[in-house]
Structure 1
Amino acid sequence: MDKRGNSVLENIKANYEKLFSAEKKAAAYILANPEQAIMMNISELARKSGSSEATVVRMCKHVGYQGYYQMRLLMSHDLGKARPTYDENEMLSSARRIFESSAARVAALEEAIDLELLVKAVRLLRLSRMVFVVAAGNTSPIATDLGFRLERCGIPCSYSMIPEHFLNHVSLGTSDDTIVAISRSGASKQVVQAMELARKKQMHSIVITGEKDTQLAEYADCVIQIVDKKKQALDTEPDSHLLEMAVSDALLYINRHFDALTQNAKDDKKEAGYGDDVELLLSEYKL
């Protein structure tokens, strides 16, 4: 089928009657909820539409795509073109508007990420013998930057932009270590492989992702989700990693002020009548 010039939704509509009944469930859900669908991974879409992952893949192929990932990417592009945008001349003439847009995306993280979760993640980093920071593709520089800056804070780290290298490093880890896995999709092959190795070594794990219900996040101690799906407030272009950088900065900031934060938590417990109980605060996360 020649689908050039047609949008994904147009292709689904054109081929809808040719689909099997199970495939129509997934197709119908996408047609009725396109904005929600582009924010879902294949497992979530299958669950929401009352179908299976295999059925979703077959449906995508029957309407002319290689698989769900390709179709979702193209559909996101279609919907992005259809959204209203600022006047181009106005955008180009106003640096303030450009930066306000970026700042609004970062500020929206407050709704999706709780401070206690960030503190928990930093506690794991501080208690680790070694921290392995892994990412693949165009997210690799984020991992390298985070690993380098954690080392500047005195936290031993291992990181590499070459998957073969970081997989080899993780395979030498121990249960006293922590892995930080960064993947917007939650499905990056080499990152998932690194996480599987880390699980075998019984490492603690922190996942920074836009997809919470994935294999990567399934057994993680901390899942820091950088996308608020309900409000879609963080709808960004695929090549933007501003939010991952913002999370990295937040972790480094909390590490820098960790003693003050834990002291405040101890003081709060005293005021509430729980006594001086730092051990209680830390016990859940001891390695």
Structure 2
Amino acid sequence: MTERSDTVLESIKSNFKSLFSAEKKAAEYILNNPEEAIMLNISELAQKSGSSEATVVRMCKHVGYQGYYQMRLLMSNDLGKSSVSYDENEMLDSSQRLFEYSAARVAELKESIDIRLLIKVIGIVKKSRMVFVVATGNTTPIALDLGFRLERFGIPCSYSMIPEHFLNHVSLGTCDDTIIAISRSGASKQVLQAIELAKKKNMHTVVISAERHTQLSEYADCIIQVVEKKPKASVLQPDSHLLEIAISDALLYILQHYDTFEENTENEKKDEPYDDVELLLSEYKL
């Protein structure tokens, strides 16, 4: 996807005169209420602007986007970039600033994670007989949540908050299985033991970690690295695993729309709506 030179609001302004009168209603509402607009679905925006859903879609296409969903995510990203600026010792003293800060952290993932890697991981997951999701300590809830939601999409999963349980389950796995190991440090002892067992069973191995060069990553077929800049404010106490949750959400989104992603990858299409991981993660700016 090519880099955009204009923000969404700039694109709307520059194309405003060419819009039809009904489309201008939706455009005017977005221009006058950008922060509110990114929180509205297409039906809500149509109702508030006095237009129709079809009119909103046409307006989005006339100003250069493929639809309202894409435009809203990009606008959310624009607003997040322009609004987040903090001094090292500044307190985030309002709900708006707190959530903007969290959104900016997630948005940084787009610089380090290739969408093709996420598609590859989901391709492996879909072909697996069983997916083992393992973690220990304060990343355990991330593993339990990911395993549960994968099951909701029909993917057989095994996950447990007790290391002895998931180690026993992994030991019964086969070469048709996949293990997803989550460890911020890449050095969690029981997680390392689990992936060592999985490798002996010739399973596919996926690691989600903040560290690339660790013993855990040596066993990984795919490494999804959670890279984060040094925090500029002291708001993140105790330790936050927002980025791991964002990765889980992105993987599940790709799983939900996998046929579209796979088709786009095979055809090597340009300027596809799902061509950039930023579009997956921008919704966190909500």
TM-score for both structures, normalised by structure 2: 0.61
- SS in structure 2 at match of 1:161: coil
**Structure-2 residue corresponding to 1:239:** 239
Structure 2: gaps (5+ residues): 1-86, 271-286
Moved over 6 A (4+): none
- SS in structure 2 at match of 1:217: helix
Q: Is the alpha carbon distance of 1:176 and 1:238 closer, same or farther for their aligned partners in structure 2, counting shifts above 3 Å?
A: farther
Deviation at residue 200 of structure 1 after TM alignment: 0.6
Tell me if the contact between 2:88 and 2:232 (Cα under 8 Å) persists in the aligned partners. no
Deviation track 1:45-86 (CA, whole Å, cap 9, x = no partner) reads xxxxxxxxxxxxxxxxxxxxxxxxxxxxxxxxxxxxxx8221
1:80-119 correspondence runs (5 A) = 84-86=88-90, 88=91, 91-92=92-93, 94-119=94-119
Tell me if the contact between 2:89 and 2:232 (Cα under 8 Å) persists in the aligned partners. no
Structure 1: gaps (5+ residues): 1-82, 272-287
Deviation track 1:214-234 (CA, whole Å, cap 9, x = no partner) reads 010112111000014xx5479
Q: How many residues align?
A: 182
- SS in structure 1 at match of 2:215: coil
Tell me if the contact between 1:133 and 1:179 (Cα under 8 Å) persists in the aligned partners. yes
**Structure-2 residue corresponding to 1:215:** 215
Q: Distance in 2 between matches of 1:238 and 1:176?
A: 38
Amino acid at match of 2:175: S
Identity of aligned residues (%): 65
1:12-51 correspondence runs (5 A) = none
Q: Is the alpha carbon distance of 1:102 and 1:206 closer, same or farther for their aligned partners in structure 2, counting shifts above 3 Å?
A: same
**Structure-2 residue corresponding to 1:153:** 153
TM-score for both structures, normalised by structure 1: 0.60
1:267-286 correspondence runs (5 A) = 267-268=267-268
Amino acid at match of 1:250: A
Q: Is the alpha carbon distance of 1:124 and 1:238 closer, same or farther for their aligned partners in structure 2, counting shifts above 3 Å?
A: farther
Tell me if the contact between 1:139 and 1:241 (Cα under 8 Å) persists in the aligned partners. yes
**Structure-2 residue corresponding to 1:283:** none
- SS in structure 2 at match of 1:129: coil
